A and B are shown apart, each in its own frame.
Chain A
């Protein structure tokens, strides 16, 4: 019998990744609808790209899918901490990011199966941090009285709303770049679906 090779992406990472993608779409679509009820800036999101149709339904979607986002996120963090999965994001140095960035501009970024380049490491760590911030600021605006310490941490309700918005902007920007990079290097997609097998 041939020794089985380790998958490029273990199934808990794949499962949480795609559940997270679903949760993010639902949270952002409904979040934009909620934003439209009382915009922070001089624009509204067009109803065509929002979820819910009206404020009451948007809030219901938002507060329903926040559970998927949070529980799924906790599973991912626990799994990654327990198995050392986070080691895939390190080491990470500004030099390596700069080198890989220049290589990427010349479309010469190496893609070894199962190894993230410095740009990916930076982007993934960045979006995971934004994920933590968006959950904490979301809880702060949901429960400014009972979770007052979170609201204080965000310097009050007013600021917490801006923090929540900017974390959303970071995640949306990440997702655009992320999906663009996958489209440019489509061979990375099948392993994220099926697991793939590392080179012997």
Chain B
């Protein structure tokens, strides 16, 4: 079940059991926060700061052996697998924005021509399941330096072909295992799994790994995210 379907189901169940649930659990509706929402937002903000303090750029996420890879990988998005966006690799451009000096869009060929790294890491979903995969691509720190990004900014944000969006803190963006992934298991990414370019960041939960990225920006203005704006913790570090 996708998170959206599950949510719809749970909301229906919740409506049935409304009498037994806590008042003010409509963490659902960000435009009408009640007391419980305010409390939860304040605690989530506090947890962001704790995680930021806990984050050690030299601590690497565990790596795994090739025989531990989960194959086929597990699909997850806010829509079903058949609805995954298909981006034409020939006309694809990665747009850049915000505090970046050289904002020339990048073609897939140009990204592929950059020095690549490979990793076998674990993706842990906020739901509690996890998969191990092999991703290769361009270290995000290399890319940001190459395009002249202001790495003193606080956030790197991502817009995706399917309307998804997310953002990460600069320290995590510069961690060596954070890559703009172009390949899975040595072959170009396929549409449901993030083609043509996705973020792979093994120090954060799965939903902080946006797929089919069409725009990358560097900013000091909090960009939020698709799930984050609905109440998931923003930092969501591992």
A-side interface residues toward B, CB under 8 Å?
34-35, 37-38, 46-49, 51-57, 59-61, 63-64, 67, 143-148, 157-158, 161
Contacts and interface: CB of A to CB of B under 8 A. Distances in A.
B21 A53 contact: yes
Interface stretch (B96-104, B107-115, B119-127, B188-196): B119-127
Describe A's contact surface by its main secondary structure: helix
Contacts of B125: 38
B11 A55 contact: no
B81 interface: no
A55 B7 contact: yes
Contact of A144 (B28, B60, B238): B238
Contacts of A57: 25, 27-28, 40, 231
Nearest to A68: B43
A36 to B, nearest CB: 8
A145 B17 CA distance: 37
B10 A146 contact: no
B104 to A, nearest CB: 34
Contacts of B128: 34-35, 37-38, 161
B172 to A, nearest CB: 11
A56 B10 contact: no
Contacts of A47: 10, 13-14, 16-17
For A48, A59, A145, the residue with the greatest tally of chain B CB atoms inside 10 Å of its CB is: A145
28 contacts: A37-B6, A47-B14, A48-B13, A48-B16, A51-B25, A52-B25, A53-B21, A54-B6, A54-B7, A54-B28, A55-B126, A56-B27, A56-B230, A56-B232, A59-B126, A60-B44, A63-B43, A64-B43, A64-B44, A64-B47, A145-B237, A146-B56, A146-B203, A146-B237, A146-B238, A148-B62, A157-B122, A157-B124
Interface residues of B, number: 46
Interface of B: 3, 6-7, 10-11, 13-14, 16-17, 20-22, 25, 27-28, 39-40, 43-44, 46-47, 51, 54-56, 59-62, 122, 124-130, 202-203, 227, 230-233, 237-238
A61 B233 CA distance: 11
Given A48-B20, A57-B231, A144-B238, A64 B56 contact: no
Contacts of B62: 144-145, 148
Given A51-B21, A54-B6, A157-B130, A60 B40 contact: yes
B59 A145 contact: yes
A56 B124 contact: no
A145 B47 CA distance: 16
A148 B63 CA distance: 12
A57 B43 CA distance: 12
B30 to A, nearest CB: 11
B27 A60 contact: yes
Contact of A63 (B10, B22, B47, B124): B47
A57 B10 CA distance: 12
Contacts of A157: 122, 124, 130
B204 to A, nearest CB: 9
Nearest to B17: A48
A61 to B, nearest CB: 7
B45 to A, nearest CB: 11
A108 B8 CA distance: 53
Contacts of A56: 27, 227, 230-232
Contacts of B232: 56, 59
The 3 closest A-B pairs by CB, nearest first: A64-B43, A38-B128, A47-B13
B31 to A, nearest CB: 16
A27 to B, nearest CB: 13
Contact of B14 (A37, A53, A148): A53
B203 A54 contact: no
A63 to B, nearest CB: 5
Nearest to B228: A56
Nearest to A36: B10
Contacts of A146: 51, 54-56, 59, 203, 237-238
